[in-house]
Chain A
Amino acid sequence: MLVKILLFARLREIAGRSELERELPDGATAEAAWVALAREFPAVGDYRTTASCAVNHDYAKFTTALHDGDEVAFLPPVSGG
């Protein structure tokens, strides 16, 4: 299945892009998308314990199962205000 991965702030800079699409096995979780990303961009891995994730515009757990066409976003610690 094909999922869209969105990246923000420092994660976006590490990957050099705000959006990418990756093919993942059916039933893969957000965690699997993260692992694929961290394999490709090792510096992303430093954020595993501090990043949040969102699936289709809602905060989600890394254990959330993804479906074809889903949009998963990885968010470094926030700093609005």
Chain B
Amino acid sequence: MGLARFAITPDPLDPAAVEAVIADPRHGAVATFVGRVRAENQGRSVQWLEYEAYAPLAVSVFEQIAREAAEQWPGATLAIAHRIGRLAIGDASVVVAAGSPHRREAFAACRYGIERVKQIAPVWKHEHFEGGDVWIEGATADPADAAAREIAVARACS
């Protein structure tokens, strides 16, 4: 079975498979962001990460992010996949692929996609480091917060 365009999965992520989901002859450009587990975080030596998600809400949030990107950059199409479960250093945790006729919109939509994932996707990482563990808590998720959306657009266009 192929990967869904918006997915939460315990399986290893293959960036090429995420790109394939949005393959389109109109796309002269595809920009793909891959987030990977880093060995160091805020001075801590990370051993592994455990990700959890509220899957049905996460999938509808990914759909919303793609709609927002298409409003901002007409012709841009996003696919988003996030992995859950235990991930080792170097494993891909998230893939955002953006296709568009031209590169400017593909890069911008891709950057926008990952910024919005970090702002509003109901996904959490539990960091296990040398000597302990900690839940990473970032943004209070509010999909209607226009200011957050503007920040994501500004970053996408920087």
Contact = CB atoms under 8 A, between A and B. Distances in A.
Interface of A: 6, 8-10, 13, 50-52, 54, 57-59, 73, 75-81
Interface string B68-112: 000000000000001000000000011000000000000000000
9 contacts: A10-B135, A57-B57, A57-B60, A75-B122, A77-B137, A79-B118, A79-B138, A80-B82, A80-B122
Contacts, number: 91
A77 B138 contact: yes
Given A9-B135, A50-B140, A52-B142, A78 B57 contact: no
A78 B126 CA distance: 11
Interface residues of B, number: 34
B53 interface: yes
A76 B126 CA distance: 12
B54 A79 contact: no
A8 B140 contact: no
A6 B54 contact: yes
Contacts of A51: 140
Most B CB within 10 A of own CB, among A8, A58, A73, A79: A79
B124 A9 contact: yes
A13 B52 CA distance: 12
Nearest to B125: A79
Q: Which 9 A-B pairs have the closest CB atoms?
A: A80-B123, A9-B124, A79-B136, A77-B137, A80-B121, A52-B141, A79-B138, A10-B135, A57-B56
